[in-house]
Amino acid sequence: MTKKKSFYASDQFAKVLAEGVSQAKQRMESDPSESHRREFVRATCSAIEAQSWQLKMYVMEKVLTKKTASVHDISALKEESYAINDKGEIYVQPRGYSLKVGLRLVYSILMRHGVPVRIDFGSADRKNIDDTVKIRNRVMHPKCMGDISVSESDAECCYNAFLFVHNMLLTTILGSALASLNQIPTGGGKSEFFSSAK
């Protein structure tokens, strides 16, 4: 699969799942039952995972270049590691990590590559991400009645985490576009983009 197809594919399914969040939100608001809140949590958490993956694909294909990409960056973004079997052959091992770690990885790569993005991981948004993962795990792997109980604040927490990841994706796309514009040679030290027409 080429890089272009890889990002295109992640973009397509992320959009479908984001639409699912909007539809689940409408159902929950028209009938605020726990059943609809559980549906909303599942839809939101799926969309968060999809947009997190889309973010990694974007960074890998649009921010990293042949000159700047390292094997470590690429394998980390792909959630892969390498191992050796008893025949001495190298093979790829899937290597998952938490949502929060994945977002910090993306941010550190953006900083190293001069993409002007500022993300406040010390804000309430970070707690929303941590809490959303706990809510998702509880709802998806229930052990008792209390595990499938989803409050309005649970639903709001998940939605805020979704918005955080969504905004980080949009900010990354805009920031990398601005960084690219700053690298365009202008024939001198002064930008000619805003110069008046003669």
pTM score of the predicted model = 0.80
What pLDDT does residue 161 have?
94
pLDDT interval class at 4 (50, 70, 90):
very low
pLDDT average, residue stretch 101-105: 91
| CA pair distance 13, 73, nearest whole angstrom | 24
Does residue 129 belong to any structural domain of this protein? yes
Does residue 190 belong to any structural domain of this protein? no
Does residue 193 belong to any structural domain of this protein? no
Does residue 172 belong to any structural domain of this protein? yes
Question: Per-residue pLDDT for 41 more than 60?
Answer: yes
**CA distance to 9, 57, 77, 174, per residue, from 5 (Å):** 6, 10, 17, 21
Closest CA to 41 of 20, 11, 16, 13: 20
Backbone angles phi, psi at 183, to 5 degrees: -95, -5
Does residue 197 belong to any structural domain of this protein? no
Percent share of the chain, pLDDT over 70: 86
Average pLDDT, the chain: 84
Domain, as residue range, for 165: 3-182
Does residue 163 belong to any structural domain of this protein? yes
Segment 117-128, tens digit of pLDDT: 888 887 777 789
pLDDT interval class at 35 (50, 70, 90):
very high
Does residue 142 belong to any structural domain of this protein? yes
The number of domains in the chain is 1
Does residue 198 belong to any structural domain of this protein? no
